[in-house]
């Protein structure tokens, strides 16, 4: 079910991108330009592409919510720690030996070298 909704979601996203790119530019992006017919004036007549954009946007939001609900239902009561399988308690965790690395004999700037056994 999740895969079907995801495929529909992706198709809606591509269709929404295509519809938005086909629309005529209104101009005046970022407040630049002039003209009295912008968002400040009264509502313009809704075109078929404008109506289709609203329809696709509403469907896209619905599929987004559906995917969120499905993902929340699938992960209910599951922790990341539970998915790892086994847990290490502090007493079982590996502790490095204190003398695993010895300081170099040359100076303080030289890197640490493993101790030879």
Interval 2-34: pLDDT, tens: 999 999 999 999 999 999 999 887 765 555 555
What residues contact 67, with CB distance under 8 A and at least 6 apart? 2, 5, 6, 9
- Looking at per-residue pLDDT, the higher value among 43 and 82 belongs to 82
> Mean pLDDT across the stretch 87-93?
60
DSSP-assigned beta bridge partners for residue 15? none
pLDDT tens column, 30-63 = 555 555 555 555 556 678 888 999 999 999 999 9
HSE value, Cβ hemisphere, 13 Å, CA-based, for 32 = 3
What's the pTM? 0.55
Count of C-beta atoms within a 10 Å radius of residue 8: 16
- Residue 90, both tokens: 């502090």
pLDDT at 26: 72
DSSP-assigned beta bridge partners for residue 102? 113
pLDDT at 30: 56
Residue 88 has pLDDT above 70, yes or no: no
Query: DSSP letter at 30?
Result: G
């Amino acid at each position: 079910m999740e895969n079907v909704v995801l495929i529909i979601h992706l198709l809606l996203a591509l269709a929404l991108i295509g519809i938005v790119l086909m629309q005529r530019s209104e101009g005046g992006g970022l407040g630049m330009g002039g003209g009295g017919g912008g968002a400040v004036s009264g509502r313009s007549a809704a075109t078929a592409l404008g109506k289709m954009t609203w329809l696709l946007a509403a469907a896209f939001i619905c599929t987004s919510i559906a995917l969120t609900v499905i993902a929340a239902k699938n992960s209910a009561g599951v922790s990341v720690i539970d998915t790892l399988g086994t847990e290490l308690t502090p007493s079982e965790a590996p502790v490095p030996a204190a003398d695993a690395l010895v300081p170099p004999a040359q100076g303080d700037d030289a890197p640490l070298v493993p101790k030879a056994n």
